[in-house]
Structure formats: structure tokens, C-alpha cells
């Protein structure tokens, strides 16, 4: 029974530890996953803020250029005319030549400067570019199509030459200045004429983010093991305390608080088990009922504390007199009951006599005690333990009636 209880208890504790471990793992994983997603979202928002700022800057610059119908710069060495403009050059009376830089060309040249500095890159493009160099790539083509469907912007991260770039694109709408160059293409004011894509290197940030994720993972694992270790440690201590408390409760449930032997309830449970076993296997079974003589007088004369000590010491003497598998319990007050498995009547009587002499010959608390004993053995006609207890009890009263300090039984005709 104890092994079964212990096994069930271990299963419950194991399930508890596994459950609480899973809850901790789930909660911590959720917290760190949330933080990782939040961090990633914050960084993405920073990318978007930077990209939108760059986009708006170039759009304002283009508007300024378009407002003045383009900007003329001196055509020096290395400065080429825009082949896609009609009459882009003008000549001054002092012999100098100036060429027109329209918004698209200015955007491309600013992008080239920025790219050389390792800052960012612009690309103006459309689905109907005048300049083949402005032909959209796959990302830009998809973005331009989405702008026609009403999307306001498009962005993604891309890997180019083993480097990670953040790409952003927003539409360009046709204004009055735009029609100077693009009216022939059938555009109207308000149409999506194309878009400007912005690209900048985020490899360094990505690498730092990966390192941060690795740190978070290692930190999470360390914290997880630390917390689980603490949980196991304190849970183990708690389980030990609970186990001790359970054992104490179990002991209190089956033992007599004063003498430490079985109480009446558990005594009768064990008696019933042995009774059934003896009936099933056709084995002998003995029973001894014991009562301390004149115990009330002892309490009255010496006090209840002395009476309690006598009860405890009688229990010790009885326990030392029986076998390990015999059953001893306090039946009530100053009465004790002994159940003797595999013991016939003669051996039951013999043991009862030895116990009587042992108590008589050993003064307890300087008081010479005697006990009266009634015995019985299992009979074929016994249908319950009540019959055995009744015969032993009647034998006890017979011993009392005949002068105490003796062993008696009831003869059954």
C-alpha cells in the first residue's frame, strides 16, 4: 500500500514539475519572443523613417528643380548632355556652354554621389521610362503595379552581393511641372507617373541584430536553466516537506497518539485483512484481549500522568513479546488487542501466559501491575471478526470475574 501511495505521489510530483517547467518555458519564450519581435519592429520603423525622410528630401529637391524648369550647369569636362531632352544645351555670349539638368538626371547624379560615399542610393523609374537606365527592377516593377492599385508605399529587405539592403519605394504623381517632359506619354495631373526607390546598406545593423539575438537566446537559456534549477530546488524541498507531513499524517491516522501502536480503527482494518486471508487459505488465527487490572485506581492514586506512562510502557512490553508480523493495537482506554496470524489456540494461550507473567514480574513506575487476558481462535463457523472479538472479550470478563491476573477463554460446545 505504501509503495503504491509513494508511486502515485511521485507521479503527481513529476507531473507538477513538468507542468510548471512547461509553463515557465512557455512564459519566458513568449516574453523573449515578444521582445525580439518588438525590437525587430522598432528597427523596421527606424528604417522606414529614414527611407521616407530620404524620399521626401529628393522629392522636394526635384520639385525645386522642376519649379524652375530645370537647372543649367556649365558643361565642363566630364559633364554630358542629357540625350533624352530636346535642346538641353545653351551657349552664352562669353563662349561658355551650359547643359540642362532636369529632375530625373539630377536625382540620378545625387544618387551616384551618395552611393560613392556609402550612404544610400536613389533610383527614379516608371513602367514607361524615357531613359532605358531608368527601367525598373523586379522589386520596383512590383511596387509600381501596387501603386496603380492604390498602395502608398512598398518596402522590403534584399540581399545583394552578400550584403543586406533596405529598399523603399513610393509613387511620384504627375504635377504641372512634370508635363513639360511627360505630356507626350499621355499622363495627366494626378496620375502615378512612376516612383523613386531608396536603398541603403543595413548589413552592419543586421549583424548587430543577429549578435543581439544570439545574446538574447544565450541569456534566455541561462535564465531558463537558472529559474528551472531554483524551481526544482525549492519544489524538491517543498516535496520533501509535504512527504514528511504526509508520512506524519499517515502515522497519526493509524497510530495511537499516546502509545505509538496501532489505534483501534487501523487495528480492526488489519484484523479484517488477516481474518479474510485465514478464511481464504484455511489458516489459523489467534486473538488476545488485554486489560490492565485496577487501572482506574492507579489513575486516582498516582494521577493520570503516571497512568499514561504505564500505558506506554505496557505497549512497549507487549510489542517486544510478539512477532514482527503480529498485530498490536490499543483497543480503548486501558485495553489492548493482539492479532496472531498463523497461530493456533495453544500457541495463543501460551503467548498470553508469557505476557501476563512478564507484566507481573516487571514493576512499572514502581507499581506492581497485573493484567487480565481473554483469548480466542478462528473457528470454521465464524463469519466475521466480531465473533472472535466477542469470545476474547468474554474470556477477558471471565478472567476479571475469577480474580484477575489470569488468562481465560470461552469453551464452545
Cell numbers representing residue 384 in the block = 466475521
As a whole number of angstroms, the distance between CA 43 and CA 246 comes to 56
Cell numbers representing residue 137 in the block = 527592377
Helix (H, G, I), strand (E, B) or coil at 365: coil
Q: Phi and psi at residue 208, in whole multiples of 5°?
A: -65, -35
CA 156-157-161 angle, to 5 degrees, is 140
Strand-pair category, 163-173 with 285-292: unpaired
CA distances from 55 to 58, 103, 107, 117, 148 (A): 5, 14, 11, 18, 19
Q: How far is CA 360 from the centre of its chain?
A: 64
Residue 124 CB: number of other CB atoms within 10 A?
25
Residue 153 CB: number of other CB atoms within 10 A?
16
User: Which residues form the catalytic set?
Assistant: 334
Amino acid at each position: 500500500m505504501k509503495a503504491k501511495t509513494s508511486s502515485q505521489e511521485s507521479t503527481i510530483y513529476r507531473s507538477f514539475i513538468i507542468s510548471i517547467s512547461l509553463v515557465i518555458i512557455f512564459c519566458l519564450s513568449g516574453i523573449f519572443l515578444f521582445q525580439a519581435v518588438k525590437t525587430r519592429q522598432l528597427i523596421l520603423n527606424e528604417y522606414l523613417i529614414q527611407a521616407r525622410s530620404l524620399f521626401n528630401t529628393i522629392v522636394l529637391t526635384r520639385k525645386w528643380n522642376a519649379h524652375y524648369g530645370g537647372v543649367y550647369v556649365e558643361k565642363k569636362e566630364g559633364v554630358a548632355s542629357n540625350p533624352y531632352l530636346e535642346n538641353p544645351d545653351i551657349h552664352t555670349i562669353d563662349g561658355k556652354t551650359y547643359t540642362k539638368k532636369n529632375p530625373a538626371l539630377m536625382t540620378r547624379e545625387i544618387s551616384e554621389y551618395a552611393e560613392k560615399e556609402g550612404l544610400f542610393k536613389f533610383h527614379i523609374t516608371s513602367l514607361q521610362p524615357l531613359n532605358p537606365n531608368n527601367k525598373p527592377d523586379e522589386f520596383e516593377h512590383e511596387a509600381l503595379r501596387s501603386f496603380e492599385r492604390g498602395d502608398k508605399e512598398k518596402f522590403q529587405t534584399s540581399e545583394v552581393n552578400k550584403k543586406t539592403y533596405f529598399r523603399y519605394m513610393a509613387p511620384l504623381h504627375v504635377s504641372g511641372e512634370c508635363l513639360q517632359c511627360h505630356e507626350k506619354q499621355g499622363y495627366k495631373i494626378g496620375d502615378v507617373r512612376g516612383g523613386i526607390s531608396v536603398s541603403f546598406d543595413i548589413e552592419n545593423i543586421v549583424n548587430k541584430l543577429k549578435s543581439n539575438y544570439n545574446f538574447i537566446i544565450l541569456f534566455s537559456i541561462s535564465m531558463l536553466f537558472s529559474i528551472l534549477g531554483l524551481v526544482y530546488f525549492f519544489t524538491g524541498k517543498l516535496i520533501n516537506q509535504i512527504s514528511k507531513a504526509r508520512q506524519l499524517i499517515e502515522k497519526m491516522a493509524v497510530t495511537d497518539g499516546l502509545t505509538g501502536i496501532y489505534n483501534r480503527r487501523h487495528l480492526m482494518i488489519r484484523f479484517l485483512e488477516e481474518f479474510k486471508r485465514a478464511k481464504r487459505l484455511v489458516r489459523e488465527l489467534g486473538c488476545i484481549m488485554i486489560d490492565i487490572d485496577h487501572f482506574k485506581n492507579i489513575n486516582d492514586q498516582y494521577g493520570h500522568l503516571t497512568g499514561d506512562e504505564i500505558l506506554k510502557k505496557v505497549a512497549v512490553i507487549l510489542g517486544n513479546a510478539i512477532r514482527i508480523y503480529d498485530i498490536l493495537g490499543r483497543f480503548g482506554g486501558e485495553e489492548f488487542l493482539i492479532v496472531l496470524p498463523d497461530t493456533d489456540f495453544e500457541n495463543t494461550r501460551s503467548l498470553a501466559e508469557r505476557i501476563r507473567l512478564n507484566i507481573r514480574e516487571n514493576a512499572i513506575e514502581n507499581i506492581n501491575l497485573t493484567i487480565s487476558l481473554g483469548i480466542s481462535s478462528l473457528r470454521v463457523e465464524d463469519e466475521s471478526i466480531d465473533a472472535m472479538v466477542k469470545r476474547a472479550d468474554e474470556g477477558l470478563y471471565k478472567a476479571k470475574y475469577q480474580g484477575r491476573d489470569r488468562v481465560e477463554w470461552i469453551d464452545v460446545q
